[in-house]
Amino acid sequence: MNNSLTSRAKKLFINVLMLVISCMWLIPIWMMMIYATHPDNVIFSGELVFNPGTDFLKNFAILQGKQDFSMAIFNSVIIAGVSTLLGLLVASMAGYALARFAFRGRNTLFALIIFILAVPSAAIVIPEYIIVVKHMGLSNNYAGVILPYLANAVGVFFMRQSFLNLPAETLEAAYLDGASEWKIFYSIALPIVRPALASLGIILFVAHWNDYLWPMLVMTSEQYQTAPIALGRLIGLANIEWGAMMVGASLMTVPFLLLFLILQKQIIAGITSGATK
């Protein structure tokens, strides 16, 4: 009797506590969407609003007037999309070679990749900038942002792990069937690790979509800026248009929240296997 009472109290306690935390965690996202739909004078008045207003399109028009945000979103889609697809290809090819071939220099190369994992990307941004912008002349060029993204050590590490788990006999069977090395790779090995590709793909896409410093350095003109850069430039204006900025933040966030709802499993798998192996 006593036991069931304490266990019910414990259950209530856990649920209430978690509810409080979850609400606090959702407030920023919720308020972002609310403020995106109200005129700025509501924000300045200090009045507490919790319900959506009707000014979303007006705020969007203001946003578009200050910075070409549609173009910025477009740039972000191109950059994140292309770097993810190419990055997956490059990382899987390299991961496949490291996992399935014995060759001279394999261990050295793998050690180098592990070492690179430990070098923060912020640390090479200066020389990278000099090479890409000064020497290659790739400023305001999609390739300038995308190319450095393609040498992704985490991706190689992750794909190598997935290919290590492939049964050797399946690949040997394809070899006996007369398939070339490339054919074995793209029509047998790659399809089998599709779940891993999906996880890595999402992680890469989100990371490239969100990146701030590197695109800011390369894409200096408004025409080529990505969405995070556009938001950053709005903050720098003398007169901050809050509602418009919340529209921008919503536009670049909400699709990912929906994506997260659908692909939660893959995202979590990507984070945990990338982290625990």
Smallest separation (angstroms) from another protein to the CB of 61:
19
- Which stretch in 54-62, 63-71, 232-240 sits in contact with another protein by CB under 8 A? 232-240
Residues in region 149-188 near another protein by CB under 8 A: 150-151, 156, 167, 169-179, 181, 183, 185, 188
Residues in region 61-120 near another protein by CB under 8 A: 89-91, 93-94, 96-98, 101, 103, 106, 109, 116, 118-120
Rounded (10°) CA dihedral 44, 47, 50, 51: -80
Whichever of 58 and 93 has its CB closer to another protein, that residue is 93
Give the count of residues interacting with another protein (CB under 8 A).
108
Distance CA 167, CA 174 (A): 12
Residues in region 3-62 near another protein by CB under 8 A: 7, 10-11, 14-15, 17-19, 21-23, 25-29, 31-32, 35, 43-46, 48
Using the rule CB under 8 A, which residue among 57, 114, 213, 237 binds another protein?
A: 213
Smallest separation (angstroms) from another protein to the CB of 192:
6
CB 204 within 8 A of CB 152: yes
Whichever of 31 and 57 has its CB closer to another protein, that residue is 31
Burial class (CB in 10 A: 0-12, 13-18, 19+), 119: exposed
Q: Is 2 in the site for another protein (CB under 8 A)?
A: no
Whichever of 58 and 216 has its CB closer to another protein, that residue is 216
**Site mask for another protein (CB under 8 A), range 124-143, x = bound:** xxxxxxxxx-----------
Using the rule CB under 8 A, which residue among 1, 5, 235, 262 binds another protein?
A: 235
Q: Which long-range contacts (CB under 8 A, 24 or more apart) does 262-267 make?
A: 263/198, 263/202, 266/195, 266/198, 266/199, 266/202, 267/199, 267/202, 267/203, 267/206
Three state DSSP letters for 81-144: HHHHHHHHHHHHHHHHHHHHCCCCCHHHHHHHHHHHHCCCHHHHHHHHHHHHHHHCCCCCCHHH
Using the rule CB under 8 A, which residue among 56, 142, 186, 260 binds another protein?
A: 260
Whichever of 14 and 164 has its CB closer to another protein, that residue is 14
Smallest separation (angstroms) from another protein to the CB of 273:
9
Using the rule CB under 8 A, which residue among 63, 145, 200, 217 binds another protein?
A: 217
CB 49 within 8 A of CB 42: yes
